[in-house]
Structure 1
Amino acid sequence: MRFLPTRAHGVIDYLWGIALMASPWLFGFADVAAATWVAIVFGVGAILYSVVTAYELGLLKILPMPMHLILDGIGGIVLAASPFLFGLADRVLWPHVLFGLFSVMACFVTRLEPMLTTGHREPA
């Protein structure tokens, strides 16, 4: 069931990206270079594709919302698997797994079409 409006998803996108980039320092794993870089790269990546998404908070409105959600899902899976892919699971596990799973969940609950300011869906 897709209940999350794209405007709310947009706010979450930017906050998620910033929180993920800050997570090495917030959760005390900044000394693990690979885990820190994974967090920064995925956080910056999410913000960049949010900037070009065709939704209320996108600036360039190039990337269709369904493609944005596919990137959220694939990126979330890779982020959640990254501790195992990069051999970091013994030092950094839960931040990457939880941020990744959150991203996967968001791709399944977000509406596919942005809303106009009047509350009507944009034409496809």
Structure 2
Amino acid sequence: MKLLSPRLHGYVDYAVVVLLAFAPLALRFGPVPTAVSSVAALTHLVLTLLSDQPLGATRKIPFPVHGALESFLGVGLVASPWLFGFSAEGPARIFSVITGLALLLVVLATRYTAGILSRPEPYDRYDR
């Protein structure tokens, strides 16, 4: 059973963006992990704003595609310490891996097909 509705998933998306944007400041990351986290935050924000979900702004990306792209972002976050050479920085490595795994759990727990079979039009602001 999927636990997260599209609306709740939208709230989680924006919380992840804030976490990715401000964690490097709070945890005092070096320049490379700060850049990776900032790019991930910006990517996730754009993805969320363009997605067809109740909290999306333009609804250009279908919600199941949002889920697929979000899973790639999660895998990228998990792999980023080794891809970008900051695996020796403990706090940055741990943050990146945990955030990536949490994002993958959100992907697994979300109902991406909620409303797709019952209505062909995109979500409106009030989730109708």
- Judge same fold: TM > 0.5, yes or no: yes
Pairs aligned (count): 117
Aligned to 1:123: 119
What SS class does the counterpart of residue 58 from structure 1 fall into?
A: coil
What SS class does the counterpart of residue 17 from structure 1 fall into?
A: helix
5+ residue gaps, structure 1, are: 116-120
> Contact conserved, 1:56 with 1:114, CA < 8 A, in 2?
no
Query: What is the identity, as a one-letter code, of the residue corresponding to 1:59?
Result: A
Distance 1:33 1:47, change over 3 A: same
Kindly state the Cα deviation for residue 113 of structure 1 after the two structures are TM-superposed.
3.2
Aligned to 1:118: none
Per-residue CA deviation, residues 22-47 of structure 1 (Å, 9 max, x unaligned), is: 11111121xx1110000000001101
**Percent of residue pairs identical:** 27
Aligned to 1:62: 60
Aligned to 1:90: 88
Question: Which 4+ stretches in 1 moved above 4 angstroms?
Answer: none
5+ residue gaps, structure 2, are: 121-128
* Aligned-pair Cα RMSD in Å: 1.4
TM-score w.r.t. the length of structure 1 is 0.88
